[in-house]
Structure 1
Amino acid sequence: MSVRTASVSAARSEGELWSRARRGDGDSFAVATGRYRRELEVHAYRMLGSAEDAEDIVQETFLRAWRKRETFRGQATLRAWLYGIATNASLDLLERRSRRLLPHLVSAPIDPETLPEPSRDISWVRGEMTWLEPYPDRLLDEVVSGEDPPDEAIVARETVELAFLVAIQQLPPRQRAVLILRDVIGWSARETAAMLEMSVVASNSALQRAREMLRDYPPERRDEWHREHRPDPREQEVLMRYMDAWKRTDLNALAALLKEDAQLTMPPTPGWFFGRDAILRFYARYPFRVGASEHLHTPTRANRQPAHAVWRRVQPDAPPKPFGIEVLRIEDGLIAEIHYFLQPELIGRFAIAPPA
């Protein structure tokens, strides 16, 4: 069967499913829309910066689509129609929610010596803001591994790494939506304008303003985006050396891995550290001083970046408890950023078994 024949066959199948769904067949609706679930979730995650909120938006998208199912008669593709609903549902939520950033964009770095005395009680780290959250690579991989997958560019590293997400979170919501729909997903100006119920001129203007604010994210040419999903072995080596330094509480080994201008953030605490020296002083005062041997580490991937889950064994004979997720950004073989999400609940989304 040729690619064209397969595509036509798939379209006919989807059309038949939607014809039944329009008449109230819930099973057909679930099959027709379900194939886009993960793709829509990643889209909502880019819009909102929260995996949990993105899951809620997908549910809201399907609910709105079901209510309006009789109005969709193929004037656009089902995928485009669902993207429009998901985008507008995200914009509705953003009217009630603040943008999600990371601490280094909100406040000045802090001196490790000004922190409270070390303690196993980390309740002091809880801030009042909501922060950007990591997203598991295993879920990104699902987008391009299913039936009739979209262009792999929509989960390219340049469009999901934390640096890009932090950058687009600083855009006004509607500009953010236009940028994602046009430059990341690849919809046309006319399609984007229809989704957002705005003129093509207004859509192009919003895109131009967004691009001016984000000149470095992502590269203009989509064929230059990094679409390789397998971990970079050089980055994985740095991750393993970093985890080993943790295990051995080896400050010298850690120092050898850090760039001089490295940054460490620890959401949900608003505090962060700038520079190799400050990070080393923090590790000497806290992680490597208070129960470092209790911490266990499992390598993983988040946002197409090397990461590891951190567990804590409080009692020798007790199973370890989830503690958080660390995501690294590596430049030229050295760690440029450490984002340590001190949120145990995140580990469940990564589906990682605790270490023995």
Structure 2
Amino acid sequence: MNVEDFEDRLREFRPRLHRYCARMTGSAVDGEDVLQDTLIKALQARADGAVVDNLEGWLLRIAHNTSLDFLRRRTRHKVVPLLDDLEDAPLPEADIVAVGFHIFLQLPELQRCAVILKDVLGHSVEEIADIADCTPAAAKSALQRGRAALRQLADRPDEMRLPLMSDANRQKMATYVRLFQGGDFDAIRAMLADDVKLELVNRLKLEGREGIGRYVTRYAEETRWRFALGAIEGRPVMLVFDSTGPTEKPKHFVLLDWREDEIAAIRDFLFAPYVLETVDWVRLA
């Protein structure tokens, strides 16, 4: 497989890898960060001559270890206790897809890994054992316990995360959204820091006001988008709705990083629609 074919396969697997990383980290946004680290490691390993027989399994092993590294760097979360009454039946696909990413984070790591790989991605117990570097018996036990715990957690009343953001950050994002709504794109360009960075997730990265000013111009030329203030997993965002289709759910969203009153970084998820799969989001007044 040449380099171009290898990169094409990585793009093909990207949504499936994100489903794994997002549930392992408990966040669609953090899952995208882990996914990008996974792909960088895969490309480096390929350049170093790694021989791969099962590409998806190999990528999932990298994603698994990268997710664990990410979690170890972050404050540890409380996990649910192991349950005695175990159910061996798989969770219905519609039910497990609807489970919020943060609910998975309440499972112990191996249980989380087993349920995601089996009931979300369709891998066998033997493949789970290979990816998680454990015995098949341990993988099967973790799968049973994880399914039982996830059923218990999913039956609890929905607890949408409230947008825990400072008034200052909320106001900055609200101003940004109002400028988009009013079409004042010159004012938006004036808010950009000289060294502002743009990431069109899954497409390209740019740096500097000139190139990113053209990105803003493209939004100015597109008439189908509608903009609203919102929160994704407690982070202030600009929600973007497509006026030509169903409007009950945003088509994508935009995250900003600020340096005082200047925009230091823009992260636009236009080309990564998989990130919105069951993500916690809310529209704010």
Question: TM-score w.r.t. structure 1 length?
Answer: 0.42
Q: Share of identical aligned residues, percent?
A: 32
Q: Is the 8 A contact 1:41 1:54 kept in 2?
A: yes
**C-alpha deviation, 1:208, in angstroms:** 2.2
**C-alpha deviation, 1:265, in angstroms:** 4.6
Alpha-carbon displacement from aligned partner over 1:195-242 (angstroms, at most 9, x marks no partner): 1111111111222221231235779xxxxxxxxxxxxxxxxxxxxxxx
1:84 lines up with 2:61 in the alignment: yes
Distance 1:81 1:262 in 2: 35
Distance 1:186 1:262 in 2: 26
The 3 A distance-change label for structure 1 pair 53 and 44 is same
Distance 1:351 1:32 in 2: 21
**Structure 2 SS opposite 1:68:** helix
1:63 lines up with 2:63 in the alignment: no
Structure 1 segment 266-277 matched on structure 2, within 5 A: 266-268=162-164
**Structure 2 SS opposite 1:268:** coil
Distance 2:118 2:235 in 1: 34
For structure 1, list consecutive stretches of 5 or more residues without a partner in the other structure: 1-16, 21-25, 102-155, 220-260, 271-294, 296-309, 327-338
Distance 1:45 1:93 in 2: 12
Picking from 117, 130, 145, the partner of 1:181 is 117
Picking from 10, 15, 19, the partner of 1:42 is 19
Q: Counterpart of 2:217?
A: none
**C-alpha deviation, 1:188, in angstroms:** 0.6
Q: Name which of structure 1's ranges 189-198 and 41-50 shifts more when overlaid on structure 2.
A: 41-50
Q: Counterpart of 1:114?
A: none
**Structure 2 SS opposite 1:186:** coil
Distance 1:314 1:32 in 2: 36
Q: Name which of structure 1's ranges 174-183 and 26-35 shifts more when overlaid on structure 2.
A: 26-35
**C-alpha deviation, 1:55, in angstroms:** 2.1
Q: Counterpart of 1:6?
A: none
Alpha-carbon displacement from aligned partner over 1:8-33 (angstroms, at most 9, x marks no partner): xxxxxxxxx2xx3xxxxx33321232
Aligned residue type for 1:71: A
**C-alpha deviation, 1:158, in angstroms:** 2.6
Q: Is the 8 A contact 2:125 2:136 kept in 1?
A: yes
Aligned residue type for 1:324: G
Structure 1 segment 108-257 matched on structure 2, within 5 A: 157-161=94-98, 163-216=99-152
The 3 A distance-change label for structure 1 pair 174 and 34 is same
1:96 lines up with 2:73 in the alignment: yes
Aligned residue type for 2:65: N
1:324 lines up with 2:260 in the alignment: no
User: Whose Rg is larger?
Assistant: 1
Distance 1:38 1:315 in 2: 31
Q: Is the 8 A contact 2:103 2:154 kept in 1?
A: no
Picking from 237, 247, 254, the partner of 1:344 is 237
Q: Counterpart of 2:170?
A: none
Question: TM-score w.r.t. structure 2 length?
Answer: 0.51
Q: Is the 8 A contact 1:48 1:99 kept in 2?
A: no
For structure 2, list consecutive stretches of 5 or more residues without a partner in the other structure: 79-92, 167-173, 186-225, 240-252, 255-267, 272-285
Aligned residue type for 2:17: L
**Structure 2 SS opposite 1:90:** helix
CA RMSD after TM alignment: 4.1
Q: Counterpart of 2:265?
A: none
Alpha-carbon displacement from aligned partner over 1:122-164 (angstroms, at most 9, x marks no partner): xxxxxxxxxxxxxxxxxxxxxxxxxxxxxxxxxx553343x44
**C-alpha deviation, 1:37, in angstroms:** 1.5
**C-alpha deviation, 1:182, in angstroms:** 1.6
**C-alpha deviation, 1:314, in angstroms:** 11
The 3 A distance-change label for structure 1 pair 190 and 343 is same
Distance 1:191 1:218 in 2: 26
Q: Is the 8 A contact 1:168 1:214 kept in 2?
A: yes
**C-alpha deviation, 1:86, in angstroms:** 1.0
**Structure 1 SS opposite 2:65:** helix
Q: Is the 8 A contact 1:313 1:321 kept in 2?
A: no
Distance 2:122 2:76 in 1: 24
Q: List structure 1 segments (4+ residues) > 6 angstroms apart after TM superposition.
A: 261-264, 313-317
**C-alpha deviation, 1:66, in angstroms:** 2.7
**Structure 2 SS opposite 1:39:** helix
Q: Is the 8 A contact 2:16 2:121 kept in 1?
A: no
**C-alpha deviation, 1:41, in angstroms:** 1.7
Aligned residue type for 2:164: P
**C-alpha deviation, 1:45, in angstroms:** 1.1
